[in-house]
């Protein structure tokens, strides 16, 4: 038991020192020892072990006042590569992030996921091509995180249900690990995008941030003090499947009148097709601009329900920041502005001035960024899983 405790403490200290170097570099041994309250000998030993596996490197800086060079430490930028993957309805995005949080490669592939195994084969083959193109060696890879819409058992890497793809009980983690040979994490796309938004918005002080996504579905995610709030089974935030009319439209989840059936793109187009053949939201917007009452009514209802969604999330979570994302927000400025305007009168008065309302800054890359950040976080807590230190 004593040996196990010593090993645990050693790994905790290694992670702590590495995190300090990542966030505060360049930094000296003395400053590391001071911040961690370790002895100079212990701090030096951990720094030496991180140097040995090339996770960090030395730089010499002139020490002000004495003119002598002093040794400082910085992360070895490309020693660790984290891979983020987004599976969407009509495309797949794959990004490589280096150890200091910079996306060094990002590819967008038009692909419609239908069969899970075929999707795994596609992702694996594209990653290998990107390895060759970027001259990246397998030993640099910390792992892969895949984000997609649906109910995800993230601790097991199993897709319980993804209504957008009609996938049920898919062991995506095991399937992809067998294909690529790396550690794989699977998570809900909006939770990952919310994490990316929280971690990259360094100018905003916030305790909690709620993200709401309006696009192929409707969902929400809460980040509290830098951590994803998951609830039991990682199913928190599925506001799109709250029922607003039990006698409403059938939802692929099996219920009727789910909130997303009044807002999500597919349902807007299905509703429009009852009057005219419409293939895109942009066409629906054009019909509305031409003065077509049926088109205007569909959009007005969607905007109203979107504003109601924002109000409900604020009332339930009471966050200090709300970020709007998703294709309806990111691709259609007219709809975004109408939702923001509607919120002025839709938000419950007592909470109206308790939060800041923003639209996404990470945009289309958010899920990939959040996925890569998740891999790096896992690596930082489990340095030993890829590299013995």
pLDDT digits (tens, 9 = 90+) for 124-158: 999 999 999 999 999 999 999 999 998 999 999 99
Which of 243, 95, 113 shows the shortest CA–CA distance to 175? Answer: 113
Q: What is the mean pLDDT of residues 87-95?
A: 94
* pLDDT, average across residues 201-225: 85
Both 93 and 186 in one domain: the answer is: yes
Considering the domain architecture, whether residues 129 and 67 belong to the same structural domain is answered as no
Domain closes at, from 75, 100, 117: 75
333 and 233 in a common domain: yes
Alpha helix positions (H), the chain = 2-24, 29-36, 40-52, 116-134, 172-180, 189-200, 265-273, 281-289, 293-317, 327-330, 333-346, 366-381
| This prediction's pTM | 0.89
pLDDT at 252: 81
Q: What is the domain extent for residue 29?
A: 2-75
User: Which of 198, 216, 215 lies closest to 207, judged by CA?
Assistant: 198
pLDDT confidence of residue 171:
98
Q: What is the pLDDT of residue 8?
A: 56
Rounded Cα distance between 258 and 278, Å, is 23
Nearest Cα to Cα of residue 144 among 119, 102, 104, 181: 181
Domain of 314, CATH number, reads: 3.30.420.40
| pLDDT value for 387 | 45
pLDDT score for 4: 44
Question: Percent of the chain beyond pLDDT 90?
Answer: 75
Of 75, 91, 122, the residue at which a domain comes to its end is 75
Q: Are 207 and 309 contained in the same domain?
A: yes
Task: Say if residue 17 is in the same domain as residue 136.
Answer: no
Whether 113 and 29 share a structural domain: no
- My answer on whether 123 and 182 are in the same domain is yes
Over 80: is that where the pLDDT of 357 sits? yes
Calpha distance 88→104 (Å, rounded): 21
137 and 186: one domain? Answer: yes
CB count in 10 Å sphere of residue 16: 16
Contact 213, 325 (CB under 8 A): yes
Final residue before a domain boundary, out of 19, 45, 75: 75
Mean pLDDT for the stretch of residues 224-233: 90
Say yes or no: 252 and 143 in one domain: no
Give the contacts of 199 (CB within 8 A, at least 6 positions apart): 226, 370, 373
- What's the pLDDT score for residue 1? 44
- Write the CA distances from 6 to 2, 10, 11, 37, 105, integer angstroms: 6, 6, 9, 17, 39
Is it the case that residue 104 has pLDDT exceeding 70? Answer: yes
Mean model confidence pLDDT for the chain: 90
**Number of folded domains in the chain?**
3
pLDDT tens per residue across span 235-250: 899 899 999 999 999 9
């Amino acid at each position: 038991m004593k040996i196990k405790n010593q090993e645990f403490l050693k790994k905790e200290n290694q992670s702590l020192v590495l995190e300090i170097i990542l966030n505060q570099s360049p930094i000296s041994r003395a400053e590391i020892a001071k911040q961690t309250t370790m002895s100079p000998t212990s701090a030096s030993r951990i720094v030496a072990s991180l140097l040995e596996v090339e996770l960090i490197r030395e730089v010499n800086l002139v020490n002000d006042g004495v003119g002598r060079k002093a040794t400082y430490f910085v992360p070895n930028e490309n020693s660790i590569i984290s891979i983020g993957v987004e599976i969407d309805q009509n495309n797949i995005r794959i990004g490589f992030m280096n150890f200091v949080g910079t996306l060094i490669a990002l590819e967008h592939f038009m692909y419609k996921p239908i069969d899970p195994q075929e999707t795994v084969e596609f992702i694996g083959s594209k990653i290998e091509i990107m390895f060759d193109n970027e001259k990246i060696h397998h030993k640099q890879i910390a792992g892969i995180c895949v984000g997609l819409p649906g109910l995800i058992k993230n601790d097991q890497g199993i897709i319980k249900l993804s209504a957008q793809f009609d996938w049920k009980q898919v062991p995506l983690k095991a399937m992809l690990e067998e294909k690529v040979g790396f550690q794989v994490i699977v998570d809900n796309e909006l939770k990952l995008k919310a994490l990316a938004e929280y971690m990259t918005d360094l100018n905003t002080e916030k305790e909690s941030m709620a993200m709401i996504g309006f696009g192929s579905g409707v969902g929400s995610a809460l980040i509290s003090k830098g951590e994803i709030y998951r609830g039991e089974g990682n199913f928190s935030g599925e506001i799109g499947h709250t029922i607003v009319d039990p006698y409403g439209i059938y939802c692929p989840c099996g219920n009727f009148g789910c909130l997303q059936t009044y807002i999500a793109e597919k349902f807007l187009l299905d509703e429009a097709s009852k009057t005219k053949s419409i293939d895109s939201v942009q066409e629906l917007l054009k019909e509305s601009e031409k003065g077509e009452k049926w088109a205007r009514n569909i959009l007005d209802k969607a905007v109203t329900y979107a504003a109601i969604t924002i109000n409900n999330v604020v009332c339930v979570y009471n966050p200090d920041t709300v970020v709007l994302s998703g294709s309806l927000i990111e691709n259609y400025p007219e709809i975004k502005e109408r939702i923001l305007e509607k919120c002025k009168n839709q938000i419950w008065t007592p909470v109206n001035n308790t939060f800041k309302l923003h639209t996404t800054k990470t945009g289309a890359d958010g899920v990939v960024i959040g996925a890569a950040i998740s891999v790096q976080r896992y690596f930082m807590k489990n340095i030993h899983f890829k590299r013995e230190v």
